[in-house]
Structure 1
């Protein structure tokens, strides 16, 4: 794919692609209850596609490895990806339905999501491996999530790490069973929210201290940086520092940007996409984290998943005023 606008840095995304069906209502129904909604949208989604979109809008050249079906939803999602200048040469086109996410959002911006993988389940380790061997896939940062089969995610982190690509893992959704200990040796940066950190580490994350403890769980297993996001409370970063065998951890709290939340869907994807793009551009860690937090903050001010992912210029203007 030839890009028609200048791109800064190159990002590879390996993850899910869905069509997001989102309903908005004043409140979410109780079990067995029906409520009347206000709005409905049908747009590109999936954590892989959303993070690819976020990184592309942040200014990076982006390639996506994933899987879709052969139904009408696949036409919608592939069309949107093409419009957003994302290379989809390594997206599988299989038989059957494209993945679906059913999202409900209430008036306080809280949401719940049921993600049905469907075609995403067909993304195999073999396809990931073959795609990573393609000479045209030239990236310095990879964004990987867990809405794809776990053996494919493992192949992704191993393959990227062995090629010298910085691996950023968004561990969502948190797996039912613990990931192999080997998995963490290939991850450079992990970005769990409070819930994901609790489910993966067994540590209840309620404040800065418990977030730091959960972050150390990841760094103890080989991850260089753990960014535990705390929604309205910001983020706690735990970093491994020092030489191998003489390592310690450095902990820092990063306050959030204050915004009026409308819908929190895809805030984590905006964070990951902007983080990966900024690092691929060559910005420092502190600069990249600041852009990521700004991207996540801006995302919650707009309803919907992919529509909420901010453009680079929007992030620039937002940060210029702070």
Structure 2
């Protein structure tokens, strides 16, 4: 991507206070999907108030993903790309040979499932029970 322009100010309307007003609805969900465009306060509220509902997070950028670093144990599934995973873990991902080490780091920090986008190398998935594998990229 060379350039991306967006206005994410609408995300500011999804505050912890707003979410608290809808807590019953949120807790009734089968799964919660959020991304790091939300404020750190709103993300923490979701993670602290989701009950038994699994929370899936897309970090969306290396800049924004730091909001969730201290809360990985409350996230069921995380879908970072290479740069986001490096930013969160502090471990360089030079290639396919490094993904198991990065996945182990995430699982040691309480993450249940990792779905790691590795660009042209495909997608690596790993869960806390040791299941893992690769999905090859599809040609266009």
Aligned counterparts of 2:65 and 2:85: Cα–Cα separation in 1? 13
Contact 1:169/1:190 (8 A) holds in 2: yes
Q: Does 1:222 align with 2:113?
A: no
- Summarize deviations over 1:98-139 as a string: whole Å, max 9, x none: xxxxxxxxxxxx34324443232232111112212248x742
Contact 1:192/1:229 (8 A) holds in 2: yes
Provide closer, same or farther for how the CA distance between residues 227 and 202 of structure 1 changes in structure 2, counting only shifts above 3 A. same
- Summarize deviations over 1:203-229 as a string: whole Å, max 9, x none: 222322222222222211111111111
User: Structure 2 matches for 1:167-182, cutoff 5 A?
Assistant: 167-174=55-62, 175=64, 177=66, 179=68, 181=70
Secondary structure of 1:253's aligned partner: strand
Aligned to 1:126: 17
Match of 2:3 among 93, 112, 116: 112
Match of 1:159 among 31, 36, 49: 49
Contact 2:40/2:67 (8 A) holds in 1: no
Aligned counterparts of 2:66 and 2:78: Cα–Cα separation in 1? 17
* Larger strand proportion of the pair: 1
Q: Does 1:145 align with 2:26?
A: no
Aligned counterparts of 1:231 and 1:118: Cα–Cα separation in 2? 29
Q: After TM superposition, what 4+ stretches of structure 1 lie above 3 angstroms from structure 2?
A: 176-180
Provide closer, same or farther for how the CA distance between residues 133 and 205 of structure 1 changes in structure 2, counting only shifts above 3 A. same
User: Structure 2 matches for 1:60-79, cutoff 5 A?
Assistant: none
Larger radius of gyration: 1
* Offset, 1:184: 1.4
Secondary structure of 1:216's aligned partner: helix
* Larger helix proportion of the pair: 2
- Summarize deviations over 1:231-288 as a string: whole Å, max 9, x none: 22211112111xxxxxxx34322212222xxxxxxxxxxxxxxxxxxxxxxxxxxxxx
Aligned to 1:92: none
User: Structure 2 matches for 1:1-322, cutoff 5 A?
Assistant: 110-134=1-25, 138-160=28-50, 162=51, 164-174=52-62, 175=64, 177=66, 179=68, 181=70, 183-241=71-129, 249-259=130-140
| Length, aligned pairs only | 139
List alignment gaps of at least 5 residues for structure 1.
Answer: 1-109, 242-248, 260-322
Higher relative CO (Cα under 8 Å, sequence separation at least 6) belongs to 1
Secondary structure of 1:139's aligned partner: coil
* Offset, 1:159: 2.0
* Offset, 1:168: 0.8
TM-score normalized by the length of structure 2: 0.84
Contact 1:157/1:186 (8 A) holds in 2: yes
Aligned-pair Cα RMSD in Å: 2.2
